[in-house]
Amino acid sequence: MTVTQSGAKWIFRLLMVLIIFQGVCVMFYYTPNTHSSRDEMMDALRQMHCAKLRRKFSIFKPAKTIKTQSFTRELSDFMSCPYRSNTTEREVNRLSLQIFCNATGFLFLTKRNTAVNQSIPYETSTTDTYTMNASLHSMLPEDFPWSGRRLGRCAVVGSGGILKNSSCGREIDSADFVIRFNLAYINDSDVGLKTDLITINPSQIQKEYKNLEEDPDLLVERVSVYGNASFIMPAFAYTFCTELSIRALNVLYPIRPQKPMAFFSPYYLQTLDGYWKRRGLKPRRLSTGFMLISTALELCEDVHVYGFWPFDTDLQDNPVPYHYYNLNRPSKRMHKMPEEFVRLLQLHSQGALTLHLQPCSSDAP
């Protein structure tokens, strides 16, 4: 910046301050009811503050440590500002995700988009493949169940400890479509009960259902909590996932043949990875939460995100557990949760989705 440019900028700022000051004086001088004019002024200042924070967070590029004191304070202020939806942003995101990734065509493997004997690649490998045989193919879902219509208001419910005591259950349950992760516990008060799509992590099968074949009832009982929900597993993320996913499918298929479990398509997850890499988000692997929020941006009219908060303290600086149901942490090497959170915050500020970080009020939604 040259000296004249910065000089001009200062003069401009000075002028702005003078104009605002004059405006405020005039307001106080001419308004008989000073109390309401003071309220109006406070309101105008609040609106300016909100607009400033909205601009800031919509292009936010944090330093190494994201959650500093000033970040928490500003984010807390911003979350009290009225939410501004932006239809243009929503449609631009939807269209580009449709063109690059196409969840309707490819979110999971179906009888329609996958052939017998087709060689299926692995999401994270350039060499390994899996050959789809006739018996596994016969257990794939017929077709994508939600094509041809928008999914309305969707709630994507992460496992963040901020959901504890949040009273968000009623608001979440009032959504048209609810997405959850890793067979997370549900209850009416904090996280809601409605579940339309829920993921199972292959490592959950590995750790918690070691004797799946001898004792399938344990898993059958666990999944029965979610009623009619669709289950989905990343069977072709890594080679170790395939056998675990097929074993789970073998248990669930006989009890719900109309709605067998789905496997994420590795083609979809690869294109989604490329989509976000091109936009500067480059973790070793996107979290499943971030993947399905992206899916929701394509399929849903309106995306509400709950329980995504990868920090140890909340907006009031009270400690929060990492998950609302246990203390497990994701691998820092694998995922970049804080960077993903910054993206979600950008999308929220741009009006593309709504991020919920505070307890829900009882008169919601």
Query: For residues 235 and 263, what is the distance between their CA atoms, to the nearest angstrom?
Result: 6
State the binding string over 35-74 for ligand NAG (x if CB under 6 A, else -).
----------------------------------------
Look up 335 and say whether it is catalytic: yes
Please give the torsion angle defined by the CA atoms of residues 129, 135, 137 and 140, in that order, rounded to the nearest 10 degrees.
-120
How is 141-208 classified by DSSP, letter by letter?
-SS-TTTTS---EEEEE--BGGGTT---HHHHHTSSEEEE-TT---BTTTTBS--SEEE--HHHHHHH
Measure Cα distances from 17 to 5, 11, 212 in Å.
19, 10, 70
Nearer to ligand NAG, 46 or 259 (CB): 259
Q: d(Cα 93, Cα 218) in Å, to the nearest integer?
A: 41
Identified binder of ligand NAG from the candidate list 77, 89, 176, 302, rule CB under 6 A: 89
Q: Does 111 bind ligand NAG (CB under 6 A)?
A: no
The only residue of 68, 187, 313, 326 in contact with ligand NAG, by rule CB under 6 A: 187
Which region, judged by CB under 6 A, interacts with ligand NAG, from 28-36, 131-139, 278-286, 328-336?
A: 131-139
151-170 footprint of ligand NAG as x/- string (CB under 6 A): -------------xx-----
Distances (CA, A) of 155 to 151, 229, 291, 303: 11, 14, 14, 6
Q: Is 10 exposed, middle or buried (0-12, 13-18, 19+ CB in 10 A)?
A: exposed
Q: By CB under 6 A, name the one of 171, 190, 196, 340 that touches ligand NAG.
A: 190
Of positions 135, 316, 331, 362, contacts ligand NAG by CB under 6 A: 135
189 binds ligand NAG (CB under 6 A): yes
Q: How far is the CB of 215 from ligand NAG (least distance, A)?
A: 20
Which residue number, 190 or 273, has a Cβ lying nearer to ligand NAG? 190
**Is the CB of residue 72 less than 8 Å from the CB of residue 317?**
yes
Number of residues that bind ligand NAG (CB under 6 A): 24
Which residue, 126 or 135, is less far from ligand NAG as judged by CB? 135
- Judged by beta carbon, residue 211 or residue 316, the one nearer ligand NAG is 316
CB atoms within 10 A of CB 306: 29
Among 31, 104, 118, 270, binds ligand NAG (CB under 6 A): 104
Distance CA 171, CA 155 (A): 9
Instruction: Say which amino acid occupies 56.
Output: K
In this complex, which beta carbon is closest to ligand NAG, that of residue 53 or of residue 285?
53
Torsion (CA) 239, 244, 248, 251 in degrees, nearest 10: 120
Q: Does 105 bind ligand NAG (CB under 6 A)?
A: yes
Min dist CB 363 to ligand NAG, Å, is: 19
Q: Which of 304, 323, 335, 348 is catalytic?
A: 335
Distance CA(109)–CA(158), nearest Å, equals 24
Return d(Cα 242, Cα 236) in angstroms, integer: 6
Nearest to 79 by CA among 45, 47, 114, 54: 54
Residue of minimal Cβ distance to ligand NAG = 105
**5 versus 119: smaller Cβ distance to ligand NAG:** 119
The answer to whether 283 contacts ligand NAG (rule: CB under 6 A) is no
Task: Quote the Cα angle for 231-236-237, to 5°.
Answer: 95
Q: 3-class secondary structure for 262-299?
A: EEECHHHHHHHHHHHHHCCCCCCCCCHHHHHHHHHHHH
Q: Which stretch binds ligand NAG (CB under 6 A): 26-34, 132-140, 213-221, 280-288?
A: 132-140
Q: Does 227 bind ligand NAG (CB under 6 A)?
A: yes
Question: From the list 76, 98, 129, 354, which residue makes contact with ligand NAG (rule: CB under 6 A)?
Answer: 98
Catalytically active residues, by annotation: 335
Which residues contribute to the site for ligand NAG (CB under 6 A)? 86, 88-89, 98-99, 102, 104-105, 116-117, 133, 135-136, 164-165, 185, 187, 189-190, 227-228, 246, 324-325
